[in-house]
Structure 1
Amino acid sequence: MTSNAEGLDIRVVGGGVIGLTSAVALAEDGHRVRVLSRDAAGGTTSAVAGGLCWPYRIQPYERAVAWSVRSFQVLTALAERPAETGARMVTGTMTATTGGADDGLAAWYDAVPGLRRARTEELPEGCASGWRALTPLVDMPTHLRYLEQRLTAAGGTLERREVTSLEEAGAAADVVVNCSGLGARALVPDPDVHPVQGQLVVVENPGIEEWSVSADAGASDTTYLLPQPYGLVLGGTARENAWSREPDPAVAAAIVARAARRFPELARARVLAHKVGLRPARPAVRLTAERLSGGTPCVHNYGHGGAGVTVAWGCADEVLRMVREVQEGRGAVRG
């Protein structure tokens, strides 16, 4: 194993927001990091994400909230340079049952500065309650480019190739960090990993400046409007175990119709793009360390569902802690 002063040779498998953020944290800590990814960042599920910093479809809630609070802090700082980082601070309203007292997010509500209950006149028609908050909203294509640039500035490298096994990835490394997302289903293999399909529509923004989300934790159809520099993102869907990446015209029409019930002018807005992403879901995030069959330590960091950007920096902190423990010879690595 390489000495502490020199850092470790680390292979990060996966080039989405989880993999890149983990790689940045490791490279900036002095390790020699190479990201292995079949797809360019713009071709990952992360690039399709709406980019709102808010815990969604992720378990366990207690750890997810802690990770989210850490990411909130980092993204808030990055929002001071929006053109470079893709992060902006935007006010919005979270409505419907997601604001219930029993949704497991009480610690999140306590941690977000200035978050408050929405007044009746601030709620969309048909919504009984909600939260108002100023939160990071991330333009994901810009943010992913920023992370890649930050990684290379720290001495890390990116390699476009498909990884056929974690053992192969770790053959010439001190540590493997597995951020393969949905790919972990076959790569680990982990049958608990499955897709939650999300479809969205990007339209010309008629002047909507706030974000708005109504998303029950278990609903297959949601309503959200996210103003991004490239257009207004309308959503969405959350279809368990649906593998198709092809937009469904009928679903797209329903998404626009739901948004137009709140803002009638959206029924006439010019459509700029249709997008489909497959959220890498799991009953709970896997953030653990083990030893691969070849003996190389491996830190798993996958299964973040619909909250990748929301928890990325918090999870990266834990990855860094685990790698440091491995480096110091005291990591809890199972044989």
Structure 2
Amino acid sequence: MFDVVVVGAGVVGLTCAVRLLEGGARVAVLTADALSRTVSWVAAAVWYPTHTEGDSRVLAWARRTYEELAHQAARGVPGIVMRPTRMLLRGPSRQAPWWAEAVRDFRSVNPADVPEGITGEWRFTVPTVEMDPYLHWLHQRVEDAGGVVLHRRLHRLADVVGVAPVAVNATGLAARGLVSDADVYPARGQLVLVSNPGLFTSVRDEENPGGLTYVHPRSRDVVLGGTFEPGESGTRSEARTGQAILERCRALVPRLKEARVITELVGLRPSRRGGARVEVDPARLPGGALLIHNYGHGGAGVTLSWGCADEVAALLRPCSY
């Protein structure tokens, strides 16, 4: 018998399971897919609250996750590197973003020192995560702490009845059907992976007239993006889109002209109108099981993961295992 069943084994579900295990709960994780088939696997996975509305709760999640990932990077956790980032601005001058206070070294660059065509620049250092080694590390951490990962596809959350008296819904896009949440929707993103010609600094140019543009170096490759297509669920890469991404990124970082194209990837961000849902459901599951939701993080799953895991653990703290 388990105390808690976490449904979903992406980064949100696995971080949740780790925190609950650390608190003494007996935890099972249910997943329909292998790690390599989760939405998290394709993520560019840079700490950055993209397409996320700022409020005190979200800021707390983002700050807590930043702190945890920075600590993990210092400990040498696989896949995590603290990386300098340049955020280019093209519109009117503006104040620091709402999330700036979560970052240790955020600063604005003197407008006289920015490239032509750019009106401003922010610089900061944030965690970047390579999801292949990191998801495997999280999976192993769950098992090392006594948790169990079970492969089972659910057609309704009520199917967890009998597994544990508490269920955590970390199902991402599947929550649309599992809990009939019409606010959940996919936001398609296409990426190009190229060989790394020696880059270390990330560059973001979200206001590029050609479309969302970012360059995120990793240990062996560079993630080039990208697109943000709300409501689109196709997962086949489009050659024209990939070529446009390459051209924008090469114009932004000329050294990328030396880089060899490795592959193109498409992922679906598990977005939700109204933002992430992290709360106790007032309605119990059949049999009286408590249900806690933790889904709808969009492209900020990594950015909010540990903060949301801490909140789920806090929601369960009054319970005795």
Q: TM-score range by the shorter chain?
A: over 0.9
Residues 255 and 314 (structure 1), Cα distance of their counterparts in 2 relative to 1, 3 Å cut: same
Distance across 1 between alignment mates of 2:252 and 2:128: 20
Correspondence for 1:57: 51
Distance in 2 (CA, whole Å) between partners of 1:254 and 1:266 is 14
Paired with 2:31 and 2:279, the residues of 1 have a C-alpha distance of: 21
1:112 aligns with 2:103: yes
**Residue 73 (structure 1) aligned to one of 63, 67, 70:** 67
State the distance in 1 between where 2:91 and 2:59 align. 14
Preserved CA contact (<8 Å) 1:19 1:179: yes
Q: Which amino acid aligns with 2:279?
A: T
* Residues 93, 119 of structure 2: 8 Å contact kept: no
Contact 1:47/1:141 (8 A) holds in 2? yes
Kindly tell me: are residues 25 and 216 of structure 1, through their superposed partners in 2, closer, same or farther at Cα, counting changes over 3 Å? farther
How many aligned residue pairs are there? 318
Of residues 15, 18, 35, the one that matches 1:24 is 18
CA distance 1:11–1:100, change in 2 (3 Å):
farther
How many Å separate the matches in 1 of 2:266 and 2:286?
Answer: 36
**CA 1:41 to 1:61, structure 2 compared with 1: closer, same or farther past 3 Å?**
farther
Q: Which range moved further: 86-95 or 296-305?
A: 86-95
**Cα shift at 1:138:** 0.9
State whether structure 2 residue 223 is matched by structure 1 residue 229.
no
d(CA) in 1 for partners of 2:158 and 2:93? 44
**Consecutive unaligned residues in structure 1, runs of 5 or more:** 3-7, 329-335
Task: Tell me the equivalent position of 1:305.
Answer: 298
Letter in 1 for 2:294: N
1:61 Cα deviation from its structure 2 partner: 3.6
Q: Is the 8 A contact 1:81 1:87 kept in 2?
A: no
In 2: Cα distance, 1:100 partner to 1:320 partner: 40
Larger CA deviation: 289-298 vs 200-209: 289-298
Identity %: 39
Any gaps of 5 or more consecutive residues in structure 2? none
Once the two structures are TM-superposed, the CA of residue 85 in structure 1 deviates from its matched residue by 2.7
SS at match of 1:295: coil
**Aligned counterpart in structure 1 of residue 82 of structure 2, from 89, 102, 108:** 89
Give me the whole-angstrom Cα distance separating, in 1, the residues matched to 2:48 and 2:222. Answer: 18
SS of alignment partner, residue 280 of structure 1: strand
Whole-angstrom distance in 2 between the partners of 1:139 and 1:173: 32
Larger mean Cα displacement after TM superposition, 85-94 or 236-245: 85-94
Preserved CA contact (<8 Å) 2:165 2:288? no
SS at match of 1:114: coil
- Aligned residues of 2:5 and 2:29 also touching (Cα < 8 A): yes
CA contact (8 A) 2:62 2:102 kept: no
Q: 2:135 aligns with which of 113, 137, 144?
A: 144
1:331 alignment partner in structure 2: none
CA spacing shift, 1:124–1:154, aligned 2, 3 Å = farther
Contact kept, 8 Å, 2:66 with 2:102, in 1: the verdict is no
The amino acid that maps onto 1:201 is V
Check if 1:325 corresponds to 2:315.
no
Match of 2:278 in 1: 287
Residue type of the partner of 2:166? V
Q: CA deviation at 1:12?
A: 0.4
